[in-house]
Amino acid sequence: MAKKIIPILVIGLVLFPELVEAQCAMCRAALESEADTSQAEGINNGIVYLMAIPYILVAGLFFIIYRKLRTRNTVV
Q: DSSP for the chain?
A: -HHHHHHHHHHHHHH-GGGG--S-HHHHHHHHH-SSSHHHHHHHHHHHHHHHHHHHHHHHHHHHHHHHHHHHHHH-
User: Which tens digits make up the pLDDT trace of 18-59?
Assistant: 665 655 667 777 777 767 778 878 888 888 888 899 999 999
Query: Is the Cα dihedral 62, 67, 68, 74 positive or negative?
Result: positive
Q: What is the mean pLDDT of residues 52-68?
A: 93
